[in-house]
Amino acid sequence: MELYKIEEILAGEPSYRLRQVERALYRDLVDSWRNVTNLPVSLREKLEEEVPVNFNFDSLTSLKSDSIKAIIELNDGLKIESVLMQHMDGRNTVCVSSQIGCPLGCKFCSTGKIGFIRNLSYHEIAEQVLFFSYYLKKTGKSVTNIVFMGMGEPFLNYGNVIKAIRIFNDAEKFNIGARRISVSTAGIPAGLKKLSDEKLQVNLAISLNAPNDRIRREIMPIDFKYPIEEVIGLVRSYIKKTGRRVMFEYVMLRDLNDSDVLAEQLVKLLKGILCFVNLIPYNGRESNLKPSTRERIKRFKEIIREGGITVTERFRFGDDINASCGQLVYRENTGSGKHHKF
Ligand code: SAH
Ligand code: SF4
């Protein structure tokens, strides 16, 4: 949908009109503008003509059907991928992208490989959740959680990411609690500082992936610019300001960052910080990187737990459709874009 047009169409109207229109779309998920009876007929017709409620996408369903990947075509013909993960406990989490590609080039990440193409607008970020909201509506369900763990580095597109979060959070729009929204970053100081002052109760996740700069630099080139100490320092002040617990993500790479010694270093690094560690099984296909073995992950986990730090392990979703984190890529426009209406 060309959501940006809504604001253009309503530019000359009183401000309550925009609120009515956004409420009809984001909260009520109307099927057609013609059904929004509190709007003047002429406006309904105009919206119907210029911003019809339908989505330009190709979708792929996971074989296990626990996750669904949508390939959404944007205005300029570029395509982005978003994933819906349907958890056993009833949560429906959308993994959104904030950029097309990513400039940070982490070695284990497919998005990093394609480089940076462009930032997404807040409308394009919101559309990913809108798409799955309509999808779930058919079965009486709704999106309950959002994670910024798709393509891109959210803090390099800060303004649009925060605007999108406010749309998700707004009780008149998606009405998704801030505590159900998570932002994952490779650790961009400017973004960490700004988020500390936003007064938003969102969850912050830091992609750490190694407890020292030597190893982190091998897999995350951004560490040359912003070393661990600087990132951790900012995380500490974020916690001081917000009182929120932070998650450290750690992709488990065989013989690279998964030894006992490194687990001990990690414990030392994070001691006293209000946080938990989330171990992520590596799911990429780089020839020089391998996933850690089950036994290794188990032992690594034990050391962290024995060190007094809470540790979890991410359940692998959607491996069969390349829908796991770090697996989202930009696709060439194949010209197959179809208009779909739910
Ligand atoms: N740019 C942000 C958010 C997107 S990446 C960030 O880096 O945090 C989201 C998560 O996916 C990160 O924690 C990243 O470490 C992880 N990830 C990337 N590639 C992966 C892969 N091949 N296997 C497992 N996790 C991966
Ligand atoms: Fe970018 Fe995150 Fe992938 Fe690194 S892991 S390349 S920061 S999307």
Q: What is the DSSP string of 287-330?
A: TT--BPPHHHHHHHHHHHHHTT-EEEE-----GGGT-STT----
Query: One-letter amino acid identity for 35?
Result: N
**Same domain (yes/no): 93, 66:** yes
**Same domain (yes/no): 144, 289:** yes
Domain count, the chain: 2
Cα 219-160-126 angle, rounded to 5 deg: 100
CATH, residue 218 = 3.20.20.70
Alpha-carbon span 271 to 327, nearest angstrom: 31
For 272-301, what is each residue's pLDDT tens digit? Answer: 999 999 999 998 888 899 999 999 999 999
- Going from the Cα of 97 to the center of ligand 2, the distance in angstroms, rounded, reads 11
Please check the confidence at residue 336 and state whether its pLDDT lies above 50: no
User: Which pairs with CB-CB distance under 8 Å and at least 24 residues apart come from 309-312?
Assistant: 309/266, 309/267, 309/270, 309/271, 309/275, 309/276, 309/277, 310/275, 310/276, 310/277, 311/276, 311/277, 311/278, 311/279, 312/276, 312/277, 312/278, 312/279
Query: Quick check: CB of 207 below 6 Å from ligand 1?
Result: yes
Please check the confidence at residue 319 and state whether its pLDDT lies above 70: no
Which of 325, 26, 17, 341 has the alpha carbon at shortest distance from 169?
26
* End residue of a domain, out of 54, 78, 95: 54
- Going from the Cα of 206 to the center of ligand 1, the distance in angstroms, rounded, reads 10
If you average pLDDT over residues 65-83, what whole number do you get? 85
**Same domain (yes/no): 106, 13:** no
CA Rg value for the chain: 21
**Same domain (yes/no): 28, 122:** no
If you average pLDDT over residues 151-156, what whole number do you get? 96
Query: Quick check: CB of 153 below 6 Å from ligand 2?
Result: yes
Alpha-carbon span 312 to 102, nearest angstrom: 27
**Same domain (yes/no): 46, 143:** no
Residue whose CA is closest, atom 8 of ligand 2? 152
The pLDDT value recorded for residue 333 is 46
* End residue of a domain, out of 31, 54, 77: 54
Structural tokens at position 18: 């925009």
Residue whose CA is closest, atom 4 of ligand 2? 106
Residue whose CA is closest, atom 8 of ligand 1? 185
Residue whose CA is closest, atom 7 of ligand 1? 186
Decide which of 199 and 186 is more confident. Answer: 186
Which ligand does the CA of 205 lie closest to? 1
The pLDDT value recorded for residue 55 is 87
- Going from the Cα of 108 to the center of ligand 2, the distance in angstroms, rounded, reads 8
The pLDDT value recorded for residue 142 is 97
Please check the confidence at residue 335 and state whether its pLDDT lies above 80: no
Query: Lowest-pLDDT range, 4-18, 66-80, 120-134, 244-258?
Result: 66-80
**Same domain (yes/no): 24, 125:** no
Active-site positions?
Answer: 81, 325
Q: Where are the beta strands (DSSP E) in the chain?
A: 55-61, 67-73, 79-86, 92-95, 99-101, 116-119, 145-148, 181-185, 203-207, 246-252, 275-281, 310-313, 339-340
Query: Quick check: CB of 154 below 6 Å from ligand 2?
Result: no
The pLDDT value recorded for residue 266 is 98
Q: Taking the CB of residue 230, how many other CB atoms lie within 10 A of it? A: 14
Query: Quick check: CB of 235 below 6 Å from ligand 2?
Result: no
**Same domain (yes/no): 10, 73:** no
CATH, residue 5 = 1.10.150
* End residue of a domain, out of 54, 69, 96: 54
**Same domain (yes/no): 198, 162:** yes
The pick from 109, 114, 222 for probing ligand 2's pocket by mutation, whose C-beta has the most ligand atoms within 8 angstroms, reads: 109
**Same domain (yes/no): 217, 87:** yes
**Same domain (yes/no): 34, 70:** no
Please check the confidence at residue 322 and state whether its pLDDT lies above 80: no
Structural domain harbouring 34: 1-54
**Same domain (yes/no): 303, 336:** yes
**Same domain (yes/no): 224, 110:** yes
Which ligand does the CA of 114 lie closest to? 2
